[in-house]
Amino acid sequence: MAQVLEFKKSDPEIGLSLRAKIEGPETDLLNQFIGQYVNKLHTVKRDCALFYEPLLPTGYPDLVIVTYTPNKYESWSKARTKLGRLELKVLHHLYFTNETTSSAIEQQLGIESRSLLRIMERLMDASMVRRTRQQWRPKPLSSSYGINNIKTIEAKISDWPSVIDQANANRLFSSESCVLSPVSKPSERIIINARSNGIGIYSMPLGKQAKIIQKPIRSNGLPVSYASWLFNEWIGRRLLKGRGVI
């Protein structure tokens, strides 16, 4: 059976901060959607993680649904739990450049040399990078990144402009970004606005099955940004914690 990890509370041990949930009609709408979505995941046997309003550089998305491959996390070491956001920023930069020098990283990311040395030491301890001929190279992505898809959901009863803005910001780290509304037939103007921003729309009147009326435009691949790595690390650390490693 597929495993569903739920991240409902902040967990300093794994570096995760969540906003406290506020009860209301939007929360009720989201909970109804989650119940339907999780049942579907069980049917197709996909392991997933649900993050409820995690703190990200773009704000607090209402819900982030992440599907992942469990065996990609089996070889993780405790050293990897020491990686912070700066390490992940440098790591993502290395995957973007494939290989680069310390001086280039310092110049491109604005990191002081002593700080960069400590960052690279932590990445080496975690077996995430190696150095050859004065060049830094990352570990193959296929063995270090276990996420298959990141879907964000923004639930809103009304106020379409603000929900579209937040959903658009979520595209900076996700595979696909959607909004969830109880409105059965959004206006053509709203649909065109969502489509032009690559955002999907789920319609789910109270007590009904969710229906997608505008498909999102998927990103070309993961990780999209360093924030995409945060979900990978949170999942890995939760799994290590479950095994008693941390």
On the CB side of 227, how many CA atoms lie within 13 Å of its CA?
A: 18
Question: Does any domain span residue 231?
Answer: no
Q: What is the pLDDT of residue 233?
A: 97
- How far CA 130 is from CA of 55, 124, 145, 198, in Å, comes to 30, 6, 17, 37
Q: What is the pLDDT of residue 146?
A: 96
Question: Does any domain span residue 43?
Answer: yes
Question: Does any domain span residue 94?
Answer: yes
56 and 153 part of one domain: yes
Q: What is the pLDDT of residue 246?
A: 74
One digit per residue, pLDDT tens: the chain, 246 residues? 678 999 999 999 999 999 988 888 889 999 999 988 887 776 777 899 999 999 999 899 999 999 999 999 998 889 999 999 999 999 999 999 989 999 999 999 999 999 999 999 999 999 999 998 889 999 999 989 999 999 999 999 988 889 999 999 999 999 999 999 999 999 999 999 999 999 999 999 988 999 999 999 998 889 999 999 999 999 999 999 988 777
DSSP state of 129: E
Question: Does any domain span residue 228?
Answer: no
Q: What is the pLDDT of residue 3?
A: 86
134 and 153 part of one domain: no
Q: What is the pLDDT of residue 45?
A: 76
Q: What is the pLDDT of residue 167?
A: 96
Which helix (H) or strand (E) is 200 found in, with range?
strand 200-203
Domain that holds residue 79: 75-141
Domain count, the chain: 2
37 and 81 part of one domain: no
Question: Does any domain span residue 230?
Answer: no
Q: What is the pLDDT of residue 164?
A: 94
152 and 205 part of one domain: yes
63 and 173 part of one domain: yes
DSSP state of 204: -
155 and 61 part of one domain: yes
Q: What is the pLDDT of residue 42?
A: 67
100 and 58 part of one domain: no
105 and 127 part of one domain: yes
In this structure, the number of other CB atoms found within 10 A of the CB of residue 6 comes to 13
**8 A C-beta contact, residue 1 and residue 121:** no
50 and 150 part of one domain: yes
169 and 58 part of one domain: yes
Q: What is the pLDDT of residue 1?
A: 63
Question: Does any domain span residue 225?
Answer: no
- The helix/strand/coil state of 220 is coil
